Structure 1
């Protein structure tokens, strides 16, 4: 260790004896800006506001990594190692900080936070990660240049921060860049030049503000674009569009796409999905992140086949206040009952602001605090459950916040159950989610199936179908078999 300390001091002395005139003001100012992670908070806010969905994910992971790295380096390791700060007599006055740090030296908390932020951002977005990495490297070097850290302190802090950012993958895995696998149909798909033969219904109330209809008219001038107002009947508009279209189109969120998919499937026609909702989970798995992606696929006649999961319900008790009976349904993404419908509501309120996994965790705590379990039979077995989740295809990651599908035609249902019959089930569930040990928790079950039969479902238990809350049923049979043709350009990528 003596040789390492000697080399560290020699490296510090070499940096102190060399300087670049422009850096004498820039690096101390940058070092001060990073105090209390202010620089990373401002940078993260900028990414979240201007970087789109990937920018928000990058900012959230980066700032979460900073919080973790700052706690470990400044609270735990500094008080344990207690290495004195360097003697700064050899450092020119022009580049010293106006206020010298009073804490111990090892590891550098600034370097740990900088590396944690840059690594967290890079895990979500390489372009943003390159920019964050350059800024982080400058902050780390400034700590040696201003004389407040040995190079070894900075290197150790940077390694610590990068490692802790990588640890966040245990709770919140990244999504792959490639879109989900899906086969091309055997027959020829209609190529609609300028959208000729397309009738697209725009659900103007589905997502963020913006003139989606006008943009579609510009992209596909020969298409017929129908706008649904606040009080319009979406299903009726889609049925009318399907009667006169060669290809049915829908612009909206997952609930709107679900309605259109059912109509297109029943009529045996292809579907064009234009992502114009708030979250666009189905379009995201397909790799449709912009209106232009779907327009490109329509023009080129490029499409894929995707699995559809179908619900068959009974009518043994009313589904709505007026006793309306609903017919067979389908889902493209997910189905659930138990506390999950309430959890969906809370999650969607927060997901755009803080990301899916944190929103899921906050919603989980809020819902489990007040909710009660639901009794039912699952494939004939009596169960008391906090929730049962079924995905149309196997989802990743394996934990409590399924995010994406690698394959849209695997023929499987992703089954996830939280058992309410075990002691302290709620507390154990939250603890397992926080610790990243959900896969080994006895209150959580994950499996796959090709069919599911739910019977004797407790009255009043609502369903969540593709993010939309629906009235319940006393019996449900879920199966897969049919496939839907959806336009997607070759080489599609996720956002």
Structure 2
């Protein structure tokens, strides 16, 4: 230990008794075996979303940090702890640890948890950071560590938490970037808006239609009922109301939004999106989080350009690609896939509320690879066997890994990824690459960014768009729609001078 370590410990020992001694002693003991951080994690997990993700990343970071600091470094770097005799009895703890003093496991765990919270839920940082600092200091105050033990431990914990992003990337922005459009009409109280609400989307105990009707009283409101097609409902009203209709709106999940977006695109109308589904991937990427934000955008007349992707399903290899009567065209907002990807998404969404998105995805991927059957496809004029093929409406982040979110909405590109099944030990390679955070460097992983893609299958296979099975065909053509669609969104930078902080 250095002279500085000794001087700091001596200075603390020389201070007279105060209530701080009681607080530091209890706090230090509360952090034993990370019990304190488990409690904080449980509190953060009460609400779904970024708090739960912060807790999951925090506990994962603590587990990795504990293995690094306590199981690996302490045995390799033995160091004597401060002598208990140098401290007054009221400042010591019963049964002090006898393992190596270097590094401090308590400080490492505190820093790991705090860094994880900073990555996932910055709003909670002002509460967690002082607590972590107090825990780290308490180890010096009660005389079981030198100050350098604490500093190095904190550095280790911070580093380990940051490294978790290699397997579990943290989302660094909320809404994706998109080109502003200032030519969309202002819709006072919904005047000129035809909006459809789907009460079957989202939680069973929530129906957005009443809220939408109250906030947009001048709009023409439709409610989805069983047996009625959303597309037909919207088309009928647009035909009846004629030039009065200035925008199409939708309150529902991604499937309903995709249907409304197709109608809006056909009539060259802007789109109003109210998030009323379960996960609302598209609304979140656009930057609309509740009904009021959608209403504010319509009152301001502000929108952004958003690409729509479409897929043409051809019945078989013998069909005429120029004959439109044999081609069924579907729009999708987020993703389309062939093979076992829909099952992967289903399992991930089932397990995500308990485990968080990335642990749930890893578990779902391993499960699906174990169960799935190979699909033989021709991509880029080459036949190959794949476990699944993924097509994203726009480049997804991160590259070379599991797709998570879109940084831009108007790139004009498709993100195409597939896992090859014709490589020896392909399943094992995928799992190993996922574990090592090196999926993008594996032979089983392929990725392209293109504006159009033609995929032919040896045997007809199901297509899923936005997580729902919708079609079975022998050939599919994916492309970006010729023109992006205006989607109402307030320009946060224009009105506040800064972009929206990440909310997780």
Fold shared, TM-score > 0.5 on shorter chain: yes
1:163 aligns with 2:159: yes
Change (3 A) 1:183 1:11: same
* Residue in structure 1 matched with residue 464 of structure 2 by the alignment: 464
The secondary structure found in structure 2 opposite 1:427 is helix
Deviations 1:120-154 (A, max 9, x none): 11122322123211111011111111121111111
Displacement of 1:224 after TM fit? 4.0
Moved more, 252-261 or 210-219: 210-219
C-alpha contact 1:189 1:303 (8 A) present in aligned 2: yes
* Residue in structure 2 matched with residue 198 of structure 1 by the alignment: 193
Displacement of 1:156 after TM fit? 0.9
C-alpha contact 1:203 1:228 (8 A) present in aligned 2: yes
Displacement of 1:235 after TM fit? 4.1
Displacement of 1:20 after TM fit? 6.1
* Residue in structure 2 matched with residue 274 of structure 1 by the alignment: 274
1:254 aligns with 2:254: yes
Gaps of 5+ in 1: 318-324
C-alpha contact 1:205 1:230 (8 A) present in aligned 2: no
Displacement of 1:69 after TM fit? 0.8
Moved more, 28-37 or 339-348: 28-37
Displacement of 1:349 after TM fit? 0.8
* Residue in structure 2 matched with residue 141 of structure 1 by the alignment: 137
Gaps of 5+ in 2: 318-325, 493-498
Displacement of 1:272 after TM fit? 0.5
Which of 212, 215, 225 is equivalent to 2:211?
215
Displacement of 1:241 after TM fit? 5.2
* Residue in structure 1 matched with residue 354 of structure 2 by the alignment: 353
C-alpha distance in structure 2 between counterparts of 1:204 and 1:92, whole Å: 67
Displacement of 1:231 after TM fit? 6.8
Which of 9, 14, 31 is equivalent to 1:12?
9
Displacement of 1:115 after TM fit? 0.2
* Residue in structure 1 matched with residue 51 of structure 2 by the alignment: 55
* Residue in structure 2 matched with residue 113 of structure 1 by the alignment: 109
C-alpha contact 1:254 1:280 (8 A) present in aligned 2: yes
Change (3 A) 1:212 1:326: farther
* Residue in structure 2 matched with residue 417 of structure 1 by the alignment: 418
- TM-score normalised over the length of structure 1: 0.91
C-alpha distance in structure 2 between counterparts of 1:293 and 1:383, whole Å: 46
* Residue in structure 2 matched with residue 322 of structure 1 by the alignment: none
Deviations 1:201-248 (A, max 9, x none): 222232234352333234323334444357765444444555544322
Correspondence 1:420-435 to 2 at 5 A: 420-435=421-436
Change (3 A) 1:397 1:241: farther
Displacement of 1:285 after TM fit? 1.5
Displacement of 1:119 after TM fit? 0.7
Which of 111, 120, 123 is equivalent to 1:124?
120
Change (3 A) 1:104 1:232: farther
Aligned length, in residue pairs: 482
Moved more, 347-356 or 65-74: 347-356
Deviations 1:89-144 (A, max 9, x none): 23232232233224322111111010001011112232212321111101111111
